[in-house]
Structure 1
Amino acid sequence: MAYVQRLGYLGSRVSIQAACHSQSRLTAPVILHRTRPLPSLRPSGLSRNARSYWWSSSPKAPQEPVVAEETLPEQPATPEEPLLDTAAPAEGTSTAGDALQVSTGIPWLWTIVSATLITRVILFPFTVRSMRSTAALAPHAEEINKLRLKMQLAQETKDMLLLQQVVLKQRSIYEKAGVSMGSMALLPVVQLPITLGLFFGVKGLCDFPLEQLKYTGLSYLPDLTVADPTGTLPIAATVLINLQLTLGAREMMSSPQTAHLVNLFRVLSLVSVPLCWHLPSGTMVYIITSIIGLMAQSLVLRSTAIRRLLGIPIVQQQHQTKPATMMESVDFLKHWWQDKKKEQEAIIRARNHRR
């Protein structure tokens, strides 16, 4: 009996130890997990202090609560506003008249007129300087014309020595008259960019078109963006150009070709009528205003008192440009063409002779 009890005691002790040993094996990973947590095994969405039983099935990621979309009340559709053509002009069409019109608020018709006359005032000092040089060289016009013929001959024969002598002689005449060669070319260099810039600027505004140019307030010119249907503006511009040529011819440098150039410009003014017929009325207003400004300038500078006040020498009658008839200009053109033809034939014969 005592032997049986001793075997039962030993058996229970062995079972208790085995149970403890198996329990320690089961709890070992838990203790290791608690002492060294692995952040990479922590499911997303769990807090740092939450327990993770990694031996069990992986927990599902918590689903975000579904929020019902709020239904916005339908807003009534706003009607589209009509687009107005009051935007700024396209690039390259802006002119000095824009600033003038914005600052003064005057209608665009009178803005074009005012800007044109203001440019004539700005160019007036350069015009006076050019007229001083032309009037100072008027007594030496005959000598200068002879030098020009010699220069043409030297260029044709390629005589560099003669060409150098002509240039030195011409320079001495300019120095004696108190005129620099640069002052003679100053007016065209300054005037041409301003004149062309205003022309293309006004034409660009009309072609854009600028909406305000369509409402001038005048019954005769209600819309400056279209051509004059009656053709009055192109014809008026041609008449004014011929009047200006008559007034300004006496201020040109006297030479054998000057009078014929004036007649050439008269013919070109007649030829330009069909070309100007389709130009916008705003562009024709600029051209007519510019010609009127030149005519007023020529009339003012004809006064002897004003010329003396501005320091412009008085040109004697014998040194002024004498007008030429159309038939004389035609004969001059024929002789010029024959001379040029003979020069080309002489050049061709010289080349053939060298071969």
Structure 2
Amino acid sequence: MVVRAMLSSGGRLGLRASSYGLLPLAARRSQVHRVSLRASLSPLLTNGACPAGVAGARSFWWSKSPAPEPNSSAIPASPVPPVQPLETESNSISIDTATQNFATPADEAVATSPASDSLLTATTDPASAVSELANVIQPLQHGDLYDLGLVSWWSPAGWVRYSMEVLHVTTGMPWFYVIVAGTIAWRLASIPLTIMSTRNASRLRPFTTQMKALDEKAEKADQAEKLEILLKKKQITEKAGVTVFSSLGAPLGQIILQFALFLGVKGMVTLPVEQLRDSGVWFLPDLTVAGPYYIMPLVVAGLANVQLSLQKRDMDPSRPEMAHALNVFRVMSFAFTPFMAAYPDGLWLSVAAGLAVSLIQTRLLQIPSISTKLGIIPLTNKLPPVPATETFRLISRYIQKKFSAGRRKPQALRLPKAKPGRASRR
């Protein structure tokens, strides 16, 4: 009837496929989905503005020219029946949940792609993400060592650590090179003290015999004689051109500096500073652990023996006991290697760098032209070498003598026996 009325009116075929009529012809979905979709589209249907692709879809019979508006008398308007809510569990389902069920193929492809699966796995595993962040070592910044309690302005070891921090942060060098460069810098700063002590020793060398005689005399002297001996020694040092401050201050400064370097680096490599786990070189990757093959302790022991050989040239030949002391130090340097291996490799790296500087410094000061310019008197005679076997014989005799003196029992006092009968007669 509707078609006949339109044909009689002379208009073209303008049949439209409304979304309201096509909606039940879609895929057979559940009643919950259908009711939810109707509830979401009912305002659009009443307002005459439906989404594209549903209500605004044209059929294959759509004409190119705009269709005339239907005659109200020919086509009676049928009221849209209101959608009655079902008293089922569909009332509890939200419209958003219903609309989410209509997933496009692109969305399904993204949801099932391997990249999305890995992303979901990474985001849904916070424990692994936290552990990965914990394993990442943050770079060192200014003030981190102070926060760890490793920097203090009253401690020489704190000065050494602060200098290492500044060198690392400002230059960006790996920690292997920072420890080597920092140690070399501090040892170069102690060169004036080394030159002063070497000069004083060379100037006092001609008076060694007099000083030794005064020391032996002071062992058996009383308090007044000891004061007199001290005055004589002071006169000898002044005659040699050596002051008391330089003779005591230079060796003391060297000892303080060496201990500051040792304790400063030791405090850093014992794991207050996590950044030292990455040294920056492949052959010594972790500076906070001890090497399993004693490589660094053996390197330190070898450098120490070379240093002893160079220092032997500057020793006074009038004191043969120094040659025995050198033999003892050589043996002790290798005997303590297993005990040295308990410390981290970063500590022995600093010690090895310091010994390398000492070797170069000692060899340069032994050159006659350099020593003459610095006021160092060269030696004319050399200390004669002493075999290690003779040194150990001397040590064994000394030990036996001490033990034999300790085992001797003091003789009991023998009182004269009184003759019997004298006391009774009196």
Shift of 1:143: 2.3
Gaps of 5+ in 2: 1-122, 152-157, 414-426
Aligned length: 268
Task: Assess, with a 3 A threshold, how the Cα gap between structure 1 residues 181 and 321 changes in structure 2: closer, same or farther.
Answer: farther
1:131 aligns with 2:210: no
**Which residue number corresponds to residue 160 of structure 1?**
223
Alpha-carbon distance in structure 2 between the residues aligned to 1:340 and 1:185 = 33
Q: Going by fraction, where is helix more abundant, 1 or 2?
A: 1
Shift of 1:169: 2.7
1:139-165: CA deviation from partner (whole Å, max 9, x where unpaired): 1222222222222333xxxx3344334
3-state SS of the aligned residue for 2:356? helix
3-state SS of the aligned residue for 2:190? helix
User: What pairs up with 1:1-355 in 2 under 5 angstroms?
Assistant: 81=130, 82-83=133-134, 84-86=136-138, 88-89=144-145, 90-92=148-150, 95=161, 96-154=163-221, 159-252=222-315, 255-317=319-381, 320-334=382-396, 336=398
Task: Assess, with a 3 A threshold, how the Cα gap between structure 1 residues 206 and 277 changes in structure 2: closer, same or farther.
Answer: same
Alpha-carbon distance in structure 2 between the residues aligned to 1:275 and 1:323 = 29
Alpha-carbon distance in structure 2 between the residues aligned to 1:332 and 1:165 = 35
Amino acid at match of 1:104: T
3-state SS of the aligned residue for 1:279? coil
Alpha-carbon distance in structure 2 between the residues aligned to 1:125 and 1:272 = 31
Task: Assess, with a 3 A threshold, how the Cα gap between structure 1 residues 274 and 78 changes in structure 2: closer, same or farther.
Answer: closer
Amino acid at match of 2:275: Q
Shift of 1:343: 9.3
Alpha-carbon distance in structure 2 between the residues aligned to 1:152 and 1:121 = 39
Alpha-carbon distance in structure 1 between the residues aligned to 2:189 and 2:365 = 16
Moved more, 122-131 or 222-231: 222-231
Gaps of 5+ in 1: 1-75
Report the identity percentage: 30
**Which residue number corresponds to residue 66 of structure 1?**
none
Shift of 1:126: 0.6
Alpha-carbon distance in structure 2 between the residues aligned to 1:200 and 1:132 = 29
| Contact 1:214 1:223 (C-alpha < 8 Å) held by counterparts | yes
Task: Assess, with a 3 A threshold, how the Cα gap between structure 1 residues 185 and 342 changes in structure 2: closer, same or farther.
Answer: farther
Alpha-carbon distance in structure 2 between the residues aligned to 1:241 and 1:125 = 22
Alpha-carbon distance in structure 2 between the residues aligned to 1:244 and 1:172 = 34
**Which residue number corresponds to residue 8 of structure 2?**
none
Shift of 1:236: 1.4
| Contact 2:176 2:280 (C-alpha < 8 Å) held by counterparts | no
Task: Assess, with a 3 A threshold, how the Cα gap between structure 1 residues 177 and 329 changes in structure 2: closer, same or farther.
Answer: same
Shift of 1:310: 1.5
Alpha-carbon distance in structure 2 between the residues aligned to 1:168 and 1:337 = 36
Aligned CA RMSD, in angstroms, stands at: 3.1
Task: Assess, with a 3 A threshold, how the Cα gap between structure 1 residues 341 and 227 changes in structure 2: closer, same or farther.
Answer: closer
Alpha-carbon distance in structure 2 between the residues aligned to 1:242 and 1:283 = 19
Amino acid at match of 1:91: G
Shift of 1:205: 1.7
Moved more, 303-312 or 261-270: 261-270
Shift of 1:334: 4.7
3-state SS of the aligned residue for 2:292? coil
Task: Assess, with a 3 A threshold, how the Cα gap between structure 1 residues 182 and 337 changes in structure 2: closer, same or farther.
Answer: farther
3-state SS of the aligned residue for 1:185? helix
Amino acid at match of 1:281: D
| Contact 2:175 2:280 (C-alpha < 8 Å) held by counterparts | no
With normalisation by structure 2, the TM-score equals 0.56
1:227-251: CA deviation from partner (whole Å, max 9, x where unpaired): 1122211111111111101101333
Alpha-carbon distance in structure 1 between the residues aligned to 2:329 and 2:295 = 20
Shift of 1:202: 1.5
| Contact 1:140 1:173 (C-alpha < 8 Å) held by counterparts | yes
| Contact 2:176 2:281 (C-alpha < 8 Å) held by counterparts | no
Alpha-carbon distance in structure 1 between the residues aligned to 2:397 and 2:203 = 31
Greater relative contact order (Cα < 8 A, sep 6+): 1
